């Protein structure tokens, strides 16, 4: 099929929920992608934080092929050898002893919300139904997850949503006031992704934890985007000394294979019973095998340290980029998760979307989020040289859009 045929077939038959860039990607290797004409792109987005080991990782490819030739799926009606292993590894990393496996970040969030509700139901406190979420939050598009997602344009067409959710600014006083004895759970991304790469400030995290401790409200850390090594730590809640009762993970975990999980602490786990929740596909052999390969790379083969080293270099480069371009108002992030905020007042055509388009013209994949933030989420395996070369291209893209730098 020609590129034109592919675009036309999609236009006729794919539901129009996505606005895609007009390129057809058909092959990858490491941090590079290739279109159907064989042109090479540098991928600083990794399929929105998913291709954590880069593209066509040989160890992952071999493990998936081997598992596919052995056994792919059996359902959760029987045991298989890999799910417990994967749960044990995640428990080691998170400190939360139990896992429920699913297939995406939204499902992981749904599971956390359900288990939080179940906890208070088991305790007989059925009046405790309120959920506190943060402004600028993104927790997914399924109805429960969407109910805790802040962006009004995502929510409004789908009302009524799950009731009882209050959105609060990420400020210590606001959180302390909002979290009360009627709060079932508070859900936060320790480092917000879609909302513009915004780390929770340490003093806000302290107030949040204190309010949860004082009121007994459960704390859900949504680590779907920022977790599992992306910031140079297993989880970003660890940088903030938070003590979540539930953690949602997804994206990087399967390194491209769809897998998510709700990680569950002791007090909530004790309240959950047989039959409370389930998933046909969740935690099948193929998904677990892929996730085990990823965690081996991350924890046993030095990938976590690699992210820290490359992250420190990227941070310096990005700060220098911001110094050169007055229209860049902030650079935020950690490890290999960065947001470059462009002046919100910038004239149309010289904003973050224009920078992302200029980067695409130079065959560099980044994206725009939260209106005016250029987002970078490269594979965790990106080398310092690759990152530096990509940032040269990004610098040229900023020059092209915002005019020559100082
Ligand atoms: C923090 C966070 N939670 C949940 C989700 C939803 O994950 P998924 O798209 O895999 O359902 C996302 C997706 O971007 C996310 O960033």
pLDDT tens digits, one per residue of 269-286: 999 999 999 999 999 999
297 lines ligand 1 (CB under 6 A): no
pLDDT, tens only, 246-262: 999 999 999 999 999 99
* The length of the chain, given as a count of residues: 406
Nearest CA to 255 among 301, 295, 300, 294?
A: 294
Ligand 1 pocket residue status of 257, Cβ below 6 Å = no
Residue 325 Cβ inside 6 Å of ligand 1? The answer reads no
User: Are 100 and 261 a contacting pair, CB within 8 Å?
Assistant: yes
pLDDT at 403: 79
Ligand 1: which of 101, 138, 142, 195 to mutate, most ligand atoms within 8 Å of CB?
A: 138
Helix ranges, 325-406 (H) = 352-361, 384-402
E strands of 84-200, at which residues?
Answer: 98-102, 130-134, 165-168, 183-188, 191-192, 198-199
Beta carbon of 105 within 6 Å of any ligand 1 atom: yes
Q: 22 and 357 in contact (C-beta within 8 Å)? A: no
Model-wide pTM > 0.85: yes
Per-residue pLDDT averaged across 76-101, rounded? 98
Q: What is the pLDDT of residues 384-405, one digit of tens each?
A: 999 999 999 999 999 999 876 5
Among 225, 230, 367, say which to mutate for ligand 1: greatest number of ligand atoms within 8 Å of CB.
Answer: 225
Nearest CA to ligand 1 atom 4: 139
**Residue 140 CB–ligand 1 contact under 6 Å:** yes
Buried b / exposed e over 275-296, threshold 16 CB at 10 Å, is eebebebbbbbbbbbbbbbbbe
CB environment 125-153: b (16+ within 10 A), e (fewer): eeebbbbbbbebbbbbebebbbbbbbeee
Give the atom of ligand 1 at the shortest distance from the alpha carbon of 223: 1
pLDDT in tens, 18-66: 999 999 999 999 999 999 999 999 999 999 999 999 999 999 999 999 9
**Across residues 175-202, what is the average pLDDT?**
98
**pLDDT interval class at 406 (50, 70, 90):** low
| Average pLDDT of span 355-373 | 96
Domains of the chain in start order, with CATH, are: 3-56+302-402 (3.90.1150.10), 71-300 (3.40.640.10)
Quick one: which atom of ligand 1 is closest to the CA of 48? Answer: 14
Average pLDDT, the chain: 96
pLDDT, position 350: 73
Residue range 311-329, pLDDT digits in tens: 999 999 999 999 999 999 9
Please state, in angstroms and rounded to a whole number, the distance separating the CA atoms of residues 142 and 83. 25
For residues 136-146, average pLDDT: 98
CB of 106 sitting under 6 A from ligand 1: yes
Residue nearest to atom 13 of ligand 1 (CA): 140
Say which DSSP state 170 is in. Answer: S
pLDDT higher than 90, residue 238: yes
From 101, 103, 105, 146, give the residue whose CB has the most ligand 1 atoms within 8 Å, as the site to mutate. Answer: 105
| pLDDT for the residue numbered 356 | 96
Give 126's pLDDT tier (boundaries 50, 70, 90). confident
349 backbone φψ class: left, alpha, beta (φ>0; ψ -120 to 50): left
């Amino acid at each position: 099929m020609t590129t034109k045929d592919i675009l036309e077939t999609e236009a006729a038959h794919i539901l129009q929920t996505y606005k895609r860039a007009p390129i057809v990607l058909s092959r990858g290797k490491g941090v590079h992608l290739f279109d159907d004409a064989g042109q090479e792109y540098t991928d600083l987005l990794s399929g929105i934080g998913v291709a954590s080991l880069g593209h066509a990782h040989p160890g992952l490819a071999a493990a998936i092929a081997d598992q596919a030739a052995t056994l792919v799926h059996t359902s959760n009606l029987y045991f298989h050898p890999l799910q417990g292993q994967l749960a044990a590894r995640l428990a080691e990393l998170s400190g939360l002893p139990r896992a429920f496996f699913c297939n995406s970040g939204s499902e992981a969030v749904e599971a956390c919300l359900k288990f939080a509700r179940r906890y208070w139901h088991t305790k007989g406190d059925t009046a405790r139904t309120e959920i506190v979420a943060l402004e600028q939050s993104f927790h997914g598009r399924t109805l429960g997850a969407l109910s805790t997602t802040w962006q009004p344009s995502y929510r409004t067409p789908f009302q009524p949503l799950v009731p009882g959710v209050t959105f609060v600014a990420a400020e210590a006083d606001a959180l302390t006031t909002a979290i009360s004895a009627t709060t079932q759970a508070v859900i936060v991304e320790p480092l917000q992704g879609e909302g513009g790469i915004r780390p929770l400030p340490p003093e806000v995290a302290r107030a949040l934890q204190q309010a949860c401790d004082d009121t007994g409200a459960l704390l859900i850390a949504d680590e779907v985007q920022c977790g599992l090594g992306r910031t140079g730590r297993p989880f970003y809640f660890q940088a903030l000394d938070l003590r979540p009762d539930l953690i949602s993970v997804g994206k990087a975990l399967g390194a491209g294979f769809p897998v998510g999980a709700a990680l569950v602490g002791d007090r909530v786990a004790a309240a959950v019973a047989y039959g409370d929740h389930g998933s046909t596909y969740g935690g099948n052999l193929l998904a677990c095998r892929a996730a085990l390969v990823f965690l081996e790379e991350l924890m046993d083969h030095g990938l976590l340290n690699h992210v820290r080293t490359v992250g420190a270099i990227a941070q310096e480069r990005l700060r220098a980029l911001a110094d050169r371009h007055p229209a860049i108002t902030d650079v935020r992030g950690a490890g290999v998760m960065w947001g470059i905020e462009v002046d919100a007042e910038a004239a149309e055509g010289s904003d973050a979307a224009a920078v992302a388009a200029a980067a695409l013209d130079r065959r560099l994949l980044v994206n725009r989020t939260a209106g005016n933030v250029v987002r970078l989420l490269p594979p965790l395996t990106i080398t310092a040289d690759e990152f530096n070369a990509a940032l040269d291209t990004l610098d040229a893209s900023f020059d092209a859009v915002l005019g020559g730098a100082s």
